[in-house]
Chain A
Amino acid sequence: MKEALEKALAELYGPGEIQGLRRVPGGASKEAWVLDYRSGDGVHPLFLRRAGGGVIYEGMLSLEAEFRLLSLVHAEGVKVPRPLLYLPDLEGREAFLMERLEGETIGARVVRRPEFAAARARLPQSMAAELARIHRIPLDKVAFLPEPGPGEPWQAAVSLAYRDLDGLGEPHPALEWALRWLREHPPRSRPPVLVHGDFRIGNLMVDQEGLVAVLDWEFAHIGDPREDLAWPLVRAWRFGEDGKRLGGIGEAESFLEAYNALTGGDVSLEELFWWEVLGNVRWGLGALKQARRHLSGVERSVELAILGRLAAEMEYEVLALLEKSGG
Chain B
Amino acid sequence: MDRPTLDEILEAVGEFLEREVLPGIQDPRLRFQTLVALNALAIARREVALGPALREEDHRELRDLLGMAGDREDLLRALAQRIRDGEAPSGTQAFLKAHVRRKLLLASPRYLERYP
Is B101 positioned at the interface, with any CB of A under 8 Å from its CB?
yes
> Residue of B at shortest CB range from A309?
B107
B40 within 8 A of A: yes
Q: Restricting to A165-180, which residues have a CB under 8 Å from any CB of B?
A: 171-174, 176-177, 179-180
Closest to B29 in A: A25
Interface residue stretch chosen among A65-73, A124-132, A263-271, A312-320: A312-320
| A305 touches B (CB below 8 Å) | yes
> With A176-B83, A312-B108 known to touch, is A319 a contact of B77 (CB < 8 Å)?
no
Query: How far is it, in angstroms, between the C-alpha of A302 and the C-alpha of B42 when the chains are bound?
Result: 13
A306 at the interface (CB under 8 A from B): yes
Partner of A180, one of B36, B73, B83, B111: B83
Secondary structure call for the B interface? helix
The answer to whether A309 and B103 touch (CB under 8 A), given A173-B96, A302-B37, A303-B36, is yes
Where chain A touches its partner, the secondary structure class is: helix
Shortest distance between the CB of A249 and any CB in chain B (Å): 17
Most buried by B among A171, A315, A327: A171
A320 to B112 Cα, complex, angstroms: 11
CA distance A171 to B100 in the complex (A): 12
Rounded to whole Å, the gap between the CB of A111 and the closest CB of chain B is 14
Q: Which residues of A contact B86 (CB under 8 A)?
A: 180
What is the CA–CA distance of A242 and B115 in the complex, to the nearest angstrom?
9
Which residues of B are found within 8 Å of A172, using beta-carbon distances? 80
The answer to whether A302 touches B96, judged by C-beta atoms less than 8 angstroms apart, is no
Contact status B100-A180, CB under 8 Å: no
- Convert B70-94 into 0s and 1s, putting 1 for each residue whose CB lies closer than 8 angstroms to a CB of A: 0001001101100110101000110
Task: State the B residues within 8 Å of A (CB).
Answer: 29, 32-33, 36-37, 39-40, 43, 73, 76-77, 79-80, 83-84, 86, 88, 92-93, 96-97, 99-101, 103-104, 106-108, 111-112, 114-115
8 residue pairs, one from A and one from B, having the closest CB atoms: A309-B107, A312-B103, A176-B83, A171-B80, A171-B76, A171-B77, A173-B80, A315-B100
Q: Can you name 10 A-B residue pairings with CB atoms under 8 Å?
A: A171-B73, A173-B83, A177-B88, A180-B88, A305-B40, A306-B43, A312-B108, A313-B104, A319-B96, A319-B100
